[in-house]
Amino acid sequence: MKGNELKPRIGIFGRRNVGKSSLINYLTGQDIAIVSDTPGSTTDPVRKTMEIGGVGPVVWVDTAGIDDEGSLGVQRIGRSLEALRQSDLAIILFTNNMFGAKEQQVVECCREAHVPFLLLYSQSDKCSAQPGLLAQVEEETGQKPFVFNVFDDSFRTPLLSLIRDSLPESAYRFHSLLGDVLCPGNHVVMVTPIDSSAPEGRMILPQVQVLRDVLDNDAVAHVCKETDLERTLQSLAVPPRLVVTDSQAFALVSSIVPEDMYLTSFSIVLARAKGLFDDYLRGTPTLAHLREGDAVLLLESCTHNVTCEDIGRVKLPKLIQRRAGCQLHFDTVAGFSALPRPLTDYAIVIQCGGCVVSPKQLAARLAPAIDAGVPVSNYGLALAYLNGIFDRAIRIFDNK
């Protein structure tokens, strides 16, 4: 259930020909990255999964040189820095006793994005590291460089240990979605509508994630369609602790579920787990204050086929437009594609549940909006607000 997008990401950065690709080959023990003496062999970020003891699978991201040249080089550097902002750990390589403005730029980017970093002096077999330079780098960055070369196997184990110790536990330790609101034996009803936007023959990832979490917490899960919800509730000898629904069914489900019963959505559960819940809670009420001509940005973390029942591109804009009672502009952007207009042009940014991205990637995507003071919300919270059940949908999480 944990795809590449949810695994911890370790980005490798440095000038051209400092040995970034060689490092990945060295650590994985495989020739998976192209190694060449020709500068600029790596253009776009290249990803490879590897298991690290004590952590589990991680994704190594090999990037273009931070000293790339020309108009294409500038774009490649931009992609490298974007990969850095999505990384859980950055490894910065330097060699030939050269640590200058390019390396300092990457260090500063790490600090701005709150990404921990390691400094590695590579190719020590070709050019020995000068103690004076290493001391200067440590003083300037607060990091002691690790000196190695890929032709000496004795460096591999201590280097992997250093990487493991530097990777934040939050990047690979699983945290329960509902563990703080469920007790063993609690009953949870999951409402999963099946319409044209539902994938053929399977449940969507948020539903699977919540189902697994309910079972992991020794609770009892009941799964039904919205059309069977009333009958399901009546059939239970013990009232459910919680009803979790697909957000687009909020209106119907909230009319069926008794007021004294906790109700929320899959998207809200995931939003809380991703770490930006308080920002969403502050930003969502902005939906009540949209004015003529305001622009709304909807962010999707994945790409999918769009149908007439698509929640982010069809249903949610219609509800927002109806609530505003005036003409609004909507932009929908999938993945990490460029935005069609500056962030500050938007009255609010609404993010999907983010089931296929890590908390770090989600935070990196929304950080520019939050830093610019643009309100942010989440699909589930926005739908709860537009259906008049915002307070009810978050009640089970109060004071948690």
Report the alpha-carbon angle 187-193-195, nearest 5. 165
pLDDT for 31: 63
Q: What DSSP state is assigned to residue 56?
A: E
164 neighbors 55 (Cβ within 8 angstroms) = yes
Partner residues linked to 89 by β-bridges = 10
CA distance 19 to 13: 10
Domains of the chain from N-terminus onward: 4-171 (3.40.50.300), 187-269 (3.40.50.11420), 277-391 (3.40.50.11410)
pLDDT for 309: 58
| Helix, strand, coil % over all residues of the chain, rounded to 5 | 40, 20, 40
Pairing outcome for strands 146-147 and 117-121: parallel
pLDDT for 400: 66
10-residue averages of pLDDT along the chain (400 residues):
64 93 85 50 67 87 87 84 89 96 94 92 95 96 95 94 90 84 97 74 85 96 96 95 94 96 95 92 97 95 56 88 94 84 95 81 88 95 96 90
pLDDT for 1: 37
Partner residues linked to 59 by β-bridges = 9, 49
- Using alpha carbons, select from 107, 86, 123 the residue that is nearest to residue 10: 86
**Which pTM was predicted?**
0.76
pLDDT for 36: 47
Q: What DSSP state is assigned to residue 338?
A: P
375 neighbors 348 (Cβ within 8 angstroms) = yes
367 neighbors 113 (Cβ within 8 angstroms) = yes
pLDDT for 186: 97
